[in-house]
């Protein structure tokens, strides 16, 4: 029996990935703060895949004790963990000048340190098994930083660095570390981003960067209406989980490949293109 633990599994990419993994024969543990939503996702999985295929572990990923408890539930129930999908996170929107330091610390606590904590928890187990997959959900914002998303981009750049180092560190034990780099996905992250911006100190209506925010909200509305579905990303997560020789990185979809190409351009040209893309 193959098992997977998915963080941020109450909605979006996390929920879609848990469902897709279950459909491919994995037993899944769902981790997120919103217990009611988590149980709804688990119930849907068990209705489709059979009883006992999903475990709910409500937990804040920034609480090491809560995450350790969730992992203990998995090991008690199934005795192993084959796949970790590090997905929980949020996007803090705001110009660098506008973002409160406390909000930036929270961004890194959730998007980076929680990923690191989970890797440290499952690493010894996977090394003992001689196998495992750590799938870290990154972003095209981990390849190129966009104006108005500097702190979020910094957190995803950090995830890229952690993953690159861990991939080499775990190689001798047959543990694979894989990055998924989605483009613009139509999930709750966009609405949450606007809320996070307000809570993070960005009074965008009176900000000197107001034009930047207005372009950003317009882009968010477009993504919600026409963006990539979470199910498409979930299919790539399953591919990474099952591939005999998984890639180090999976860009989803063509947008991610274009952004990766941008990261190799000379700075002045890249800045011009990114500025145009951001509505500048």
> 120-166, pLDDT tens digit by residue?
999 999 999 999 999 999 998 899 888 889 999 999 999 999 999 99
User: What is the reported pLDDT for 223?
Assistant: 55
> 5-14, pLDDT tens digit by residue?
999 999 999 9
Instruction: Tell me: pLDDT of 225 over 60.
Output: no
Which residues neighbour 170 within 8 Å (Cβ) at sequence distance 6 or greater?
123, 126, 127, 134, 176, 177
Given the residues 115, 152, 170, 250, select the one marked as catalytic: 152
194 and 218 in contact (C-beta within 8 Å)? no
Lowest mean pLDDT among 113-122, 197-206, 260-269: 197-206
What is the CATH number that goes with domain 3-277?
3.40.50.720
> 236-265, pLDDT tens digit by residue?
999 999 999 999 999 887 666 677 776 777
- Report the distance separating Cα 248 and Cα 266, nearest Å: 25
Residue 152 annotated as catalytic = yes
User: What is the reported pLDDT for 279?
Assistant: 60
**Among residues 237, 242, 239, 253, which one has the least CA distance to residue 186?**
253
Query: Locate tokens 């217990």: which residue?
Result: 35
- Report the distance separating Cα 41 and Cα 74, nearest Å: 17
Position 43 confidence tier, pLDDT thresholds 50, 70, 90: very high
> What is the CB-side half-sphere exposure of residue 201 using CA atoms within 13 A?
12
Query: Locate tokens 């981003």: which residue?
Result: 193
- Report the distance separating Cα 229 and Cα 161, nearest Å: 26
pTM exceeding 0.95:
no
User: What is the reported pLDDT for 235?
Assistant: 96
Query: Locate tokens 């991610």: which residue?
Result: 256
Instruction: Tell me: pLDDT of 106 over 70.
Output: yes
Domain ranges of the chain: 3-277
- Report the distance separating Cα 94 and Cα 35, nearest Å: 29
User: What is the reported pLDDT for 152?
Assistant: 94
- In percent, the amount of the chain with pLDDT more than 90 equals 67
Average pLDDT, the chain: 87
Position 266 confidence tier, pLDDT thresholds 50, 70, 90: confident
């Amino acid at each position: 029996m193959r098992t997977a633990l998915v963080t941020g599994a109450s909605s979006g990419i996390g929920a879609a990935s848990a469902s897709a993994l279950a459909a491919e024969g994995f037993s899944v543990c769902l981790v997120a703060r919103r217990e009611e939503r988590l149980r709804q996702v688990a119930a849907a999985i068990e209705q489709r895949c059979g009883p006992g295929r999903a475990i709910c572990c409500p937990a804040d990923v920034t609480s090491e004790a809560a995450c350790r408890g969730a992992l203990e539930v998995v090991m008690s129930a199934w005795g192993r963990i084959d796949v970790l999908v590090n997905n929980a996170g949020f996007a803090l929107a705001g110009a660098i000048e506008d973002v409160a330091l406390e909000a930036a610390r929270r961004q890194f606590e959730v998007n980076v340190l929680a990923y690191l904590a989970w890797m440290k928890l499952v690493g010894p187990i996977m090394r003992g098994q001689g196998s495992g997959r750590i799938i870290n959900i990154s972003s095209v914002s981990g390849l190129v930083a966009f104006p108005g998303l500097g702190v979020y981009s910094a957190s995803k750049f950090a995830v890229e660095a952690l993953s690159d180092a861990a991939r080499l560190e775990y190689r001798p034990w047959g543990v694979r570390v894989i990055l998924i780099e989605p483009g613009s996905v139509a999930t709750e992250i966009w609405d949450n981003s606007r809320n996070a911006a307000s809570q993070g100190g960005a009074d965008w209506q009176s900000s000197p960067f107001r034009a930047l925010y207005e372009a950003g909200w317009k882009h968010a509305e477009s993504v919600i209406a026409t963006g990539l579905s979470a199910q498409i990303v979930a299919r790539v997560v399953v591919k990474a989980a099952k591939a005999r020789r998984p890639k180090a990185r999976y860009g989803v979809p063509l947008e991610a490949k274009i952004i990766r190409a941008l990261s190799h351009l000379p700075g002045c040209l890249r800045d011009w293109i990114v500025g145009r893309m951001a509505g500048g």
